[in-house]
Every structure is written in C-alpha cells, then in structure tokens.
Amino acid sequence: MGPDRTCRRARRAVLAAAAALCLAAPLAAITPAAANTVTVTSHFVWTPPDSDVGIFSALIVNGATDDRPGAVLFVTPNYNANAECGCLDDQDPISVTWDGHGWELVNEDRGPMTDGVSFNILVVPRASKNAFFLTAKSSNISGDSVFINSKLTNGKPGAEIQVTQDQTPDGVTIGHVLTFNPHHVGVRYDRANKRWAIFNEDHAAMPADAGFNVLVGPAASNGGQGEELTATTSDLHNGGVAIRTSQTAGNPNNVTFVTQNSSPGGKAGHLDNAQPGVWYNGNTEVIFNEDQSDIAAKTAFNVLTFSS
C-alpha cells in the first residue's frame, strides 16, 4: 500500500468520525500532489474494491481523477456495467469530495456505501463556461433551490443540465468545512426569473455552502450525446424508463449519466424524489430509481450518453 492510499484511507476515517458526531470538521492541510498529465475529458465505469469502501464513502482510483483537484466530476450509479451483474443499488444521494490526493464518492445522508456497487463517472479536467462549480450562498438560495447564473442557461428553458453534488468544489480542502445536503436533487426552470435552479426534490431548504458541479450541454463532454427524455407509457418497463438512442440500443458498454428535470421544455413537470441510476436490460439502457420506486409517466430526465 503506497503512502497516498494510506493517507486517503486516513481521510476516509475522518469522514466516518464526522458522521458519527453528525458534524464535519475542517479538512487538514495536505501537501499538494504532483500535476496530473491527463488533459482530456474522460468517462469510465468505477467499481471500488472492498478495501477502498468506507462506511459511507469510496475512493476513486483512476488516472483521470488522481491528483486532479480542479476536475469537475459527474456521477450516476450503474446497476450492471457492461451487462455484467454487480446488480447492487446505492439509493442514497451521491456526491463527490476531494481528499487531498484524489476524489471520493460520498453518500450525502451518511448511508452505508455498498461493497461492489458501480458508478459511471465523467471527469472534465478543469472548469469552463460549460462545466463549472456552483456554491449555495444567501445571494443565490431561495427555499429549496440554488439558482444558476450562466449565459448558457439564463432565459433558455431547453438547456440540458447535468448536476452532481460536490462537497469540495474546485478541490478546496484547507480550512474547508464539509457541508452535507442529504437530499436527492434535480433541476428546474423558474419561468418568472428565467433561470435554472438545482433543487432538493423533497423541498428541504437548500443549505448555505452546499456545492455542486454543473455541466451545460454535451460540448464539454468529449463526445457525449445529450437529450431531454420524458417518460411515456410505451417506454416504461418494470418501473423504469427506456433510453432509445443509437448509443444504447444493443450496446451494453454504453456509459450514461442522468439528472432529473422537473421542467421539461421549461414547463412544470413531475418530481422524482429518488437517486436515479441506469441498467442495461439486454436491449437498451434504462433509467430507474435506486430505491426501487416506480418512475411515473411524464417524469423527465436530462440524459448524456457515450457509446462506450
């Protein structure tokens, strides 16, 4: 076991202790890591080995994420990556956090991280106008929502937005206090303000200092195909909604990311208070709720798909 992995496991122990006390302490100062030579946006499927799974977190070990504190990550659980049955759920709200050397997956409600669960991970090496960090402040919070202020989304009800919670936006760890938002999140369009917002699906108040990674459109994804998908009765199967695209049809190796959209086309739609995941049903990819609740017809999702 190398020194970096030892340090990261120690960091994970600190997270677990914070959970037991129901508070998060500031992260300790850590010597900056060497620069990462990966310069392109990458996507991959990650199944943390049992040795890297903590009480409610798991290490990500990959050349695209190691030593990359400024990366912008997006995560969706994958039930059976490459049609191989790990067949495990993570029904908790998922976030990412930088531990000083690499990234970790974290269950925001401190629910247990299941050994063997798999995740689709998209890594944009650095922030840009299309992929950026958003921190909830008094100036942009309203009730259960934090508003996005971007020329790519303001006044554009058709914008395709992916979001993932991030406890350490831009890799800031020194003196940073982790802020947990233990709620499932989606995006919605506020027609009065002509702005998109990230919101808590159960309408819980958005906490100050909650952090998010935001991706607008597929331009920064390095080859992903984006779409807004609204569930119809013909697409609903066993409580999930089928994604019918050239990237998913007959392709068990596709890598798909999903964010719930309660305002398809900028119009009021359905809520879906659950962690969305994906699974391959033998013919195409399917969005499903990780807690096994049924997705209702007319529920919408923003989908970003890669053919491999």
Q: What average pLDDT does range 284-300 have in this prediction?
A: 96
Structure tokens at 12: 């994970």
Q: What average pLDDT does range 152-180 have in this prediction?
A: 88
User: What global pTM score does this model have?
Assistant: 0.89
Q: Among 78-87, 223-232, 288-297, whose mean pLDDT is lowest?
A: 78-87
Residue type for 178, please?
Answer: L
Average pLDDT, the chain: 88
The alpha carbon torsion through 108, 112, 113, 114 (nearest 10 deg) reads -150
**Residue-wise over 169-207: b if at least 16 C-beta within 10 A, else e?**
bbbbbeebebbbbbbbbbbbbbeeeebbbbbbbeeeebe
C-alpha–C-alpha distance, residues 86 and 115, integer Å = 10
283: left (phi over 0), alpha (psi -120 to 50) or beta: alpha
Confidence band for 253, pLDDT divided at 50, 70 and 90:
very high
Q: What average pLDDT does range 65-85 have in this prediction?
A: 93
Per-residue pLDDT at 173: 64
Per-residue pLDDT at 8: 44
Helix (H) or strand (E) holding 4: helix 3-21
Q: Among 31-35, 51-55, 299-303, whose mean pLDDT is lowest?
A: 31-35
Condensed to tens digits (0 to 9), the pLDDT of residues 194-218 reads 999 999 999 999 999 999 999 999 9
Q: What average pLDDT does range 117-143 have in this prediction?
A: 97
Pair type for strands 94-98 and 161-166:
parallel
30 pLDDT above the threshold of 60: no
Q: Is 243 exposed, middle or buried (0-12, 13-18, 19+ CB in 10 A)?
A: buried
Per-residue pLDDT at 178: 86
Per-residue pLDDT at 176: 67
Q: DSSP assignment of 19-70, as one string?
A: HHHTS-PPBPP-PPPPPP---S-EEEEE---GGGB-SSEEE---TTTTT-TT
More confident residue, 21 or 278: 278
**Residue-wise over 95-113: b if at least 16 C-beta within 10 A, else e?**
bbbbbbbbbbbbbbbbeeb
Strand partners for 250 = none
Q: DSSP assignment of 100-154, as one string?
A: SSSEEEEETT-PPPPTT-EEEEEEESS--SSEEEEE--TTTEETTEEE---TTTT
138 pLDDT above the threshold of 80: yes
Condensed to tens digits (0 to 9), the pLDDT of residues 264-279 reads 999 989 999 999 999 9
Q: What average pLDDT does range 113-133 have in this prediction?
A: 96
Condensed to tens digits (0 to 9), the pLDDT of residues 110-120 reads 999 988 999 99
Structure tokens at 31: 């010597």
